[in-house]
Amino acid sequence: MIELSLTIPLEPPTVNHYVKHTRMGRHYVTAQAKDWMHAVSVYAMGRQVEGKTHFVAYTVYQGHGSRGDVDNYAKCVIDSLVKAGVLKTDSSVIEMNARKQRDRDNPRTEIVVRAVK
């Protein structure tokens, strides 16, 4: 497959809510991030975008009262694509387009992954 489009009916956590650090110097992935990654895995259904390099575009449609900077979603979006097996590694992403919009009634994230030749 050279292109994959996904619509996840959730907003990804921002980098501020992705990994938390303890006073002891340890870190852990938050429950919100785990839920997001599971959802991406379910919607990806084991599909992989072949190729050595990739373009990723995402649009986060924020719901009522939601806040977040468009660039702070990127880490969680890309990491979830790797965990779901859509991408083999995040280092294959050579170009990215990020957007956010408001949709109070239907928050979601639309992701497009395309192989670059």
* Residues counted in the chain: 117
Residue 66 has pLDDT above 80, yes or no: yes
- Please name each of the domains of the chain with its CATH number: 3-116 (3.30.1330.70)
Binned at pLDDT 50, 70 and 90, residue 11 comes out as very high
Binned at pLDDT 50, 70 and 90, residue 18 comes out as low
pLDDT of residue 35: 92
Q: Average pLDDT in the 24-28 region?
A: 73
Q: How far apart are CA 31 and CA 13, in angstroms?
A: 10
Contacts of 105 (CB under 8 A, 6+ apart): 63
Q: pLDDT of 78-116, one tens digit each?
A: 999 999 999 999 999 999 999 999 999 999 999 999 999
Q: What percent of the chain has pLDDT over 70?
A: 92
Q: How far apart are CA 117 and CA 65, in angstroms?
A: 40
Q: Name the token pair of 75.
A: 């880490």
